[in-house]
Homo-oligomer: A and B are copies of this chain.
C-alpha cells in the first residue's frame, strides 16, 4: 500500500545527501563542517522491530539521530509499570536526556525496522567547540525538546481525553508533513496501548474516542491505518492552531 512508502535512505548515505538533513544536526552547517560531522557518525545496520537502541541505566556513549522508522522511549516505574515518554520519527535526535548525568534515564525501542545514525557524544561535544553552527544547533535541538515537553505537559494537565487524542493525531500529521509525507494519510506506528500510555489514557478510552472521531467523519481509521478527513476540526479540538502540534 501507498503508506508503506517510508523514507528509505541508502544505508550509508552521508549527511550531505541525507533526506532529513534539514531536520537534523547538519542544518545550516557549511559543506566542510558537515564532513567533520560525517566523519564521527556511525551508520549501523537497521534496528529490527522490538529491538532496543539503548536501555535505562546504560552509560551515555552516543546520541542517535533517526534516519527512518520510529522509536518509542519509555521508563519502568517503581511498581514495574511501563511508562511511555515519547515517540520519535526520522530527523529527531534522541538520548539528550542522558547528558545531565551521563546515563540514559529511559529505554529506546524500535517500533518498526529503523535506521539510526550513531553520534558519539564526546566527539560531538569536541566538534562543537570549533563549529559554532553545530554548537548552536545542539542547543536549539535541546531547547526544542524542553519546549515540546512543556507543551505535552500542558496537554496532559489541562485537556480532556478527546483533546489529547486530537492533539496527538495533529502532531503526528504535522510531523509527517515536515518529513515530506502526506499529512492526512499515514500509519500509526504504535499500538493503542502505547498511545494511551503516552497520553495518560486507558486503551479503552483511546479506542472509544478514535471510534467516535471515525463515526463523526473526522477520520477514517482501520487498524493502524489512519486517514484524516477533517484536519481543521481536529486542530480545533486539540486546542487551537499549532500550540500542541509540538508534542
Contacts and interface: CB of A to CB of B under 8 A. Distances in A.
Nearest to A132: B129
B83 A143 contact: no
A75 interface: yes
A4 interface: no
A99 interface: yes
A84 to B, nearest CB: 9
> Interface size for chain A: under 10, 10 to 19, 20 to 34, or 35 or more residues?
35 or more
B85 A150 contact: yes
A125 B134 CA distance: 12
A138 to B, nearest CB: 7
Contact of A139 (B105, B125, B132, B154): B125
Most buried by B among A75, A150, A200, A243: A150
Contacts of A239: 77-79
A135 B140 contact: no
Majority secondary structure of chain A interface residues (helix, strand, loop or mixed) = helix
A75 B154 contact: yes
A146 B97 contact: yes
Nearest to A144: B100
Nearest to A146: B97
A97 B150 contact: yes
A204 B139 CA distance: 40
Given A83-B157, A135-B125, A143 B243 contact: no
Interface of A: 75, 77-79, 81, 83, 85-86, 96-101, 105-106, 125, 128-130, 132, 135-136, 138-147, 149-150, 152-154, 156-158, 198-200, 239-241, 243
Nearest 5 pairs between A and B by C-beta? A99-B143, A78-B240, A100-B143, A157-B200, A149-B149
18 contacts: A75-B154, A77-B239, A78-B243, A79-B240, A86-B150, A96-B142, A98-B143, A99-B142, A99-B143, A100-B140, A106-B150, A128-B135, A129-B130, A146-B146, A156-B156, A156-B157, A157-B198, A158-B200
Given A101-B144, A129-B132, 15 more contacts: A77-B240, A79-B239, A79-B240, A83-B154, A83-B158, A85-B150, A85-B153, A99-B139, A99-B140, A100-B141, A106-B150, A125-B139, A146-B146, A146-B149, A149-B149
